[in-house]
Amino acid sequence: VPAPAGIASEATDIRAVAVRVWAAATGASAQAGPAHVNLALREPLAPNAQELALLDLIFDDIPSPVITSLPALTGTVGADGEVAAEVARVGKTLVVAGDGSAPVATRVAEAQGWPIISEPTSGIVSSPNVVPAGVNVLAHSALGGKPLGRWADLVSEVEQVLVFGHATLTRPVQRLIAAPGVRTVVVPTRVEPWNDASRTAQIVLYGVDPSLFTPEEGTVTQSRAEWLDRWTSAGHDLAEVLARTVGEGDLADGLAPMRTVRSVVAASEPGDALVLGSSSAIRDADAYVTDWPRGLAVYGQRGLAGIDGTLSTALGIAIATGSRTRVVVGDLTFLHDAGALLRTASDPVGPLDIVVLNDRGGAIFSGLEHSGAGDPQLFERVFGTPHTAHLDLLCAAYGIDYQAVRSTQELEMLLREPNSAIRVFEVGFDRDDRGSASTEIARAVGETPVSDQRT
C-alpha cells in the first residue's frame, strides 16, 4: 500500500485493499489464505489526531462489500439467497458482460428482464436483452458529458449494475460502474479474485443463487419490460446511425478502422473464430459492430498479454480448432509478433486471415490525453512510435500471401474465399484522420432523433 499523498481517492483505495485482505484471510475470496500487507509510511511515523479521525471516517463511512460464500471453499451451492433476493429487487438494473461471461450473464439478464451491455469477448451475440451499440449509448449520455435528451435520462436512472467477468474495456462502462448512487454487484465468472477496477463493489457474488435464474412470478413487471425496451430501442437507434455513418465504402480515410472491423465480422459465419487485437481493434468492435453472427467465437487477450503474441494466439486457435480464423490487429501488434509467420515445412497451419490496420504507429494514443499534453515531437516518438516497415516485403520474406485492400466490398469478398493457409490483408490509412472521423460519428449521433418506441 503506497504512502498517502492526499489525493481524493485514497480513502476508497485503502478500504478496497482492507476488504480484499480480510476476504482472503477469512476464506471468503478466491485468494484464500494468510494475508500479508506492506504499508509504506512517511515521517513522522506517528499519526496526529486529525489523521486518526480520518481513519475512523474511512472505515465508518465507506460501505464494505457483502461477499457471498465461495462454493469451491465452503462446499455450498450458489450465493446466499437473501443477498440474491436483494439484488433481484432492484428493477432499474444494467448487466455488464465481460470476458467469457455469456452463459451466466445471459441467463440472469433474461430471467430478470434487465438490459445487457456486452463486450465483444463475452460470448453474448444473440440475446434480445443485448443493447446494440451499448457502449455508445453510455458514451453519448450525460454520464459521458454529452447530453442527448432521453438517452441522458436513461443512464442517470440506473440504480444497480451487475458486472460479470472481467469488464474493463471502455471508459464509459467504468464511469457507469463508479457513478455515485449506483450499486455495483460484481459476479466473478471463474474462481479468481473479483474484478473491481473502480473499487466501488458493494456486493460480490461468488456463484449465482438459482433464484436469479428463475425469478418469482410477477418479478418481471411492466416497468421492467419498459426499462428493457427503452435501452434496446436507444441501442437500435444508435446502430442505425452507425450503419449510415460508418457503413461500407473506401478504406483510405479515418473511418477505415471502424469499417474494417465491421466488414470482418460481416464476412464471418457460424463456427468461425475471430481474434481481436488489443488497443484499437477490440474497442472499435465494441463501439461500431452492432450485428454479431450467431455462433461466431470471439477471442481477445487484452489485460492478459497486451499486444504480445497476438498472431501466435490466432494461429494456435486456427490449428487447434480447425475453424476458419480471422484476426484484426494494428500494425504495431503485427510487427511485434511477426516471427509467428516463420513456419517450417512440417509445421501445422490452420486457415488464418490476418487483417492489419496500418496507420504507421499507435493510433489509440491520439484519442487519449497524451496527445494534448507536452511536446508533440516527444508524443510522436514515445506514443505515436512511427515506423517505416513495408508489410508486403516482410510477408514476401516469410513466404506469406499478401494483398493491400482498398474497400470493404473487396475485403469481404477476399475473406469469403476458400483458404487453408496464412494470408495477410493490409488496410492503410492516415493516423491523423482518425480524430476527425470520431468527431463526424459523434456529430451524426448528436443529430439523431430518439425513437419513442420500437416494435
pLDDT in tens, 265-310: 999 999 999 999 988 899 899 989 988 988 899 999 876 667 889 9
Q: Are the CB atoms for 130 and 289 separated by under 8 Å?
A: no
Which residue in 423, 445, 249, 434 sits closest to 351, CA to CA?
A: 423
What gap in Å lies between CA 228 and CA 94, rounded to an integer? 9
CATH number at residue 130: 3.40.50.1220
Tell me: pLDDT of 115 over 50. Answer: yes
pLDDT in tens, 202-257: 888 877 877 888 766 656 678 888 999 989 988 888 888 888 888 878 887 778 88
Average pLDDT over residues 371-400: 85
Tell me: pLDDT of 338 over 90. Answer: yes
Do 50 and 130 sit in the same domain of this protein? Answer: no
For 354, counting Cβ atoms within 10 Å of its Cβ (0-12 exposed, 13-18 middle, 19+ buried), the class is buried
What gap in Å lies between CA 401 and CA 384, rounded to an integer? 28
Do 46 and 83 sit in the same domain of this protein? Answer: no
Quick one: what percent of the chain has pLDDT higher than 90?
33
Do 51 and 128 sit in the same domain of this protein? Answer: no
Mean residue pLDDT of the chain comes to 82
Tell me what pLDDT residue 144 has.
Answer: 41
- Find the domain containing 209 and state its range: 66-231
Classified as helix, coil or strand, 263 is helix
Do 82 and 224 sit in the same domain of this protein? Answer: yes
User: Helix-strand-coil percent breakdown of the chain, rounded to 5?
Assistant: 45, 15, 45
Which residue in 327, 311, 319 sits closest to 349, CA to CA?
A: 319
Tell me: pLDDT of 370 over 70. Answer: no
Residue 335: Cβ within 10 Å count: 18
Average pLDDT over residues 351-364: 88
Please report whether residue 449 resides in a domain. Answer: no
Average pLDDT over residues 365-392: 78
Q: Answer with the one of 64, 86, 111 that is the final residue of a domain.
A: 64
Which are the contacts of 338, defined by CB distance < 8 A and separation ≥ 6? 311, 394, 398
Do 288 and 325 sit in the same domain of this protein? Answer: yes
DSSP conformation class of 369? G
Which of 65-69, 161-165, 331-335 is predicted with the least confidence, judged by mean pLDDT? 65-69
Q: Answer with the one of 216, 231, 246 that is the final residue of a domain.
A: 231
Residue 128: Cβ within 10 Å count: 10
Tell me what pLDDT residue 101 has.
Answer: 87
Q: Confidence band (pLDDT; 50, 70, 90) for 107?
A: very high
Torsion angle defined by CA atoms of residues 124, 128, 133 and 139, in that order, rounded to the nearest 10 degrees = -100
Structural domains of the chain, count: 3
Quick one: what percent of the chain has pLDDT higher than 70?
85
Among 16-25, 55-64, 227-236, the range of highest mean pLDDT:
227-236
